[in-house]
């Protein structure tokens, strides 16, 4: 069917019809966002939605001050849960893209999930398709969001294997 308008790269979060005044989250910059019209929304004022994608590197850290797998959770997934960032506000789903630079995929998932559990997030689950070497693996996560609606929120994870390229 296509998009209602082109994707936006590194642009500020867009206003939401449910915001009474300018929100602090409008100063945040998701990696990608696509605007779309939700024809199932009965209120025409609230039909404009944004699908947000945040991207992060995965694998062994290259510096002790920048730990990829921990940042995937704390500077990635949590942006879909906290009101400060508000990624995916008024949308039922969003996505994270992980670029696998090193480490076995299974080890990365264990480490990411351990960080997720520490901050009270649900585990990420590998799809029934399994791992795709030198390709894109699909994973899913359901998030309960107390600060942002709607909840639960479906966060789709696409992990791109760049280890042998």
Q: Give me the pLDDT at residue 27, please.
A: 80
pLDDT tens string, the chain, 165 residues long: the values are 566 677 888 878 777 767 777 778 878 889 999 888 888 888 888 888 889 999 999 999 988 888 999 999 999 999 999 999 999 998 999 999 999 999 999 999 999 999 999 999 999 999 999 999 999 999 999 999 999 999 999 999 999 999 986
Q: Give me the pLDDT at residue 25, please.
A: 80
φ, ψ for residue 68, nearest 5 deg: -55, -50
Domain range summary for the chain, segments of one domain joined by +: 22-161
Q: Give me the pLDDT at residue 47, please.
A: 82
CA angle centred on 67, ends 60 and 52, rounded to 5°: 105
Question: Which tokens belong to 54?
Answer: 């945040």
For 114, the enclosing helix (H) or strand (E) is helix 105-118
CB 77 within 8 A of CB 122: no
Q: Give me the pLDDT at residue 164, please.
A: 82
Nearest to 155 by CA among 49, 77, 98, 74: 77
Q: Give me the pLDDT at residue 152, please.
A: 96
φ, ψ for residue 142, nearest 5 deg: -100, 130
Q: Give me the pLDDT at residue 9, please.
A: 81
């Amino acid at each position: 069917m296509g998009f209602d308008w082109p994707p936006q790269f590194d642009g500020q979060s867009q206003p939401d019809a449910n915001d009474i005044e300018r929100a602090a989250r409008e100063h945040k910059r998701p990696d990608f966002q696509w605007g779309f019209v939700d024809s199932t929304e009965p209120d025409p004022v609230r039909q404009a939605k944004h699908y947000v994608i945040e991207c992060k590197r995965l694998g062994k850290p290259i510096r002790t001050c920048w730990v990829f797998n921990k940042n995937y959770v704390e500077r990635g997934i949590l942006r879909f849960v906290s009101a400060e960032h508000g990624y995916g506000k008024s949308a039922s789903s969003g996505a994270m893209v992980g670029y696998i630079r090193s480490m076995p995929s299974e080890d990365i998932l264990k480490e990411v999930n351990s960080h997720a559990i520490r901050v009270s997030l649900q585990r990420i689950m590998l799809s029934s398709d399994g791992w795709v070497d030198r390709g894109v693996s699909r994973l899913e996560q359901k998030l309960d969001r107390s600060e942002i609606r709607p909840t639960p929120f479906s966060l789709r994870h696409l992990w791109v294997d760049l280890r042998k390229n």
